Structure 1
């Protein structure tokens, strides 16, 4: 592993992989490191939205994602057996009028394979210990399998999650808080699957649960949960479905869990970095913004961060003024704030307590279900298309909706 580079990327999740692949394709010298010896074999994020697919087009990975993913065109909101609202994605002004269900580990594999095909690689088992920047670059002390080493980089990008070492080494504040509720994520196989082929959000007095199809016959379960840190087993997941999903005796089928492939329970924070750049240190993805899983926005927002940052870094490395990097945060921080607002509103709706308040919420959603402009606007927000203008580099052209290069730039330029 070389000890000097133009761009050091810390963290090889989808965001880091997207940035590294874009820089590799652009011919920009970089290093991508990750403290893990191997990528996590967990799906975690399971949704890729239309705007994210548009942004990923220059990397050449979208056809493989479409081949391995599952296209869904409807998102339904229900209170147990009662349908409250449905959002259709098949009329989105995009080449991708759907939600693509694709486990995160598959997304990471596809990006890793593309990076390798372009001649790049992930340096695993390399952990950033501390960073110090000066006028000319950043000195990063890392731990490798053969001991401590020092990497010298012109710029360092933190894609290393909520507890980012890169952000902690900077002056970037990360303000916010956390929800009182914990959340459960699980991928399961059903002995008796749901009848509907859609992403379904169920409200109930006991809490909320999302049931979403994944490729290979599996389903993603997302639910509020009272016990942080537990790994719910089959009985626990079944209990969530029995008490929050479709009621027995109703028109819908109550899913029966056959196997839990993986599960996790965790507390969710809502935070956003006050700036995305401190000199030669930059942050993206969960290092810059974290929020509720409602709406499946986290990984998508991070990937778009990376795909906007890549051309800006490329231009600066090639001699453009360093101040051009300020445009990255100027565009992506408002996008993150919009996502935090959307996820927060969806979460508050799901967590409404009390019979009267739940009744008012349900009446409101039923009324809004009869307002096509509202539903179309919500589809644009969920798909990310409403934030297209916040993903265009200075001097770029976002093009018309659903046409041309939605990223507004060419990697090799």
Structure 2
């Protein structure tokens, strides 16, 4: 019998992104071997999320994952905000009273690769090209049908953890609505190698423009950067004298603001983008999913899964609400609103005392 667990549960994890992989890591390090499936051909080739919070590092440390992440990633300790050619203020992650006093920057594809390697060390692996077709909850188990490379399979599990993204098959099978909306404005992403970078090394930069355009940029490797903008050309909204030596990737997306009505049924549970989706402002999306997964495993061991939604749903709701406020504030074109926003950024950006509570929330250390 595993300490903390009344019996060895049989668990299916659907989705092998950071949320699903965290759940698998937390289970396997305690001797619980889940089955983890993903419909994709393999790990994501895209960067997607890049910011790993101090609290996520706390969660991933016992499995040995954080040590590997720290050896590969960049440590971002400052975030500069600009408007109209002048700097409004600087947020100092280094002022956090925590041993991880930084935001870790690493493309999601690399984060997932490291997590999968650690999972392999524990003796578990992801079953790629394996799709959940349907599931049916019973009093004793969940019956599922899987479409695998070897054909259709039927299996039984004690619990299913759905970490399969905004289009979650698990959520649909649970009959849970995904309430909210998707913003019409198109955003863009660009990953690029940049020479002659004119700003402070190893810092993130945000540029707010009078017409409501915004541009964010963060280093993700040696001379490599990730730019995000609410326009069709992310790098065009990053001012400065620099040279793009190679454009590595571009993409476009629309920002959702949605949340599952509930995160669980009797035996099925949701985490990450399957449960909540919001803007990338605040760098909390991937980290909330990691926290969801850790909560699921902890409550499984404590036999308190009945309260999973009660714990995690309010956290998701608060971040959707806060990220929407931050989004409106960032892309406002009202001169009056800009003046108030810029005054606030100046005040907070020049006072580590004032920025402390917000930084703790961004770091996942306070809700």
When the two structures are superposed, what TM-score results if normalisation uses the length of structure 1? 0.83
State the shift of 1:371 in Å. 4.5
Q: Deviations over 1:284-326 (max 9, x none)?
A: 00000100010111001101111121122244xxxx4xxx102
Matched, 1:27 2:28: no
Confirm or deny: 8 A CA contact 2:174 2:265 kept in the other structure: yes
> Could you tell me which residue of structure 1 aligns to residue 66 of structure 2?
62
> Could you tell me which residue of structure 2 aligns to residue 136 of structure 1?
140
> Could you tell me which residue of structure 2 aligns to residue 395 of structure 1?
none
Matched, 1:341 2:321: yes
Confirm or deny: 8 A CA contact 1:158 1:282 kept in the other structure: yes
State the shift of 1:237 in Å. 4.4
State the shift of 1:167 in Å. 0.5
> Could you tell me which residue of structure 1 aligns to residue 310 of structure 2?
330
Confirm or deny: 8 A CA contact 2:188 2:234 kept in the other structure: no
> Could you tell me which residue of structure 2 aligns to residue 120 of structure 1?
124
> Could you tell me which residue of structure 1 aligns to residue 255 of structure 2?
268
Matching residue within 150, 153, 158 for 1:154? 158
Confirm or deny: 8 A CA contact 2:84 2:210 kept in the other structure: no
After superposition, the CA RMSD in angstroms is 1.7
Confirm or deny: 8 A CA contact 1:211 1:219 kept in the other structure: yes
State the shift of 1:216 in Å. 2.5
Confirm or deny: 8 A CA contact 1:185 1:220 kept in the other structure: yes
The aligned length equals 357
> Could you tell me which residue of structure 2 aligns to residue 245 of structure 1?
238
Matched, 1:47 2:15: no
Tell me, in whole angstroms, the C-alpha distance in 1 between the residues paired with 2:272 and 2:147: 23
State the shift of 1:370 in Å. 4.3
> Could you tell me which residue of structure 1 aligns to residue 366 of structure 2?
386
Matched, 1:81 2:85: yes
> Could you tell me which residue of structure 2 aligns to residue 224 of structure 1?
230
Matched, 1:285 2:272: yes
> Could you tell me which residue of structure 2 aligns to residue 183 of structure 1?
187
When the two structures are superposed, what TM-score results if normalisation uses the length of structure 2? 0.93
Q: Deviations over 1:198-235 (max 9, x none)?
A: 10110013400001111232101111125xxxxxxxxx
Tell me, in whole angstroms, the C-alpha distance in 2 between the residues paired with 1:194 and 1:75: 15
> Could you tell me which residue of structure 1 aligns to residue 111 of structure 2?
107
Confirm or deny: 8 A CA contact 2:228 2:234 kept in the other structure: no
Tell me, in whole angstroms, the C-alpha distance in 2 between the residues paired with 1:94 and 1:334: 25
Tell me, in whole angstroms, the C-alpha distance in 2 between the residues paired with 1:49 and 1:138: 34
Decide which moves more: 168-177 or 45-54: 168-177
State the shift of 1:100 in Å. 0.6
Matched, 1:299 2:286: yes
Matching residue within 192, 214, 230 for 2:220? 214
Confirm or deny: 8 A CA contact 1:128 1:143 kept in the other structure: yes
Confirm or deny: 8 A CA contact 2:95 2:352 kept in the other structure: no
Confirm or deny: 8 A CA contact 1:285 1:303 kept in the other structure: yes
Confirm or deny: 8 A CA contact 1:28 1:314 kept in the other structure: no
> Could you tell me which residue of structure 1 aligns to residue 3 of structure 2?
none
Q: Deviations over 1:10-65 (max 9, x none)?
A: 00001101111111111124200000121111111001011111111111111111
Tell me, in whole angstroms, the C-alpha distance in 2 between the residues paired with 1:194 and 1:145: 50
Tell me, in whole angstroms, the C-alpha distance in 1 between the residues paired with 2:238 and 2:247: 17
Tell me, in whole angstroms, the C-alpha distance in 2 between the residues paired with 1:288 and 1:359: 36
3-state SS of the aligned residue for 1:313? helix
State the shift of 1:254 in Å. 2.8
3-state SS of the aligned residue for 2:366? helix
Gaps in structure 2 of 5+ consecutive residues = 1-8
Decide which moves more: 180-189 or 290-299: 180-189
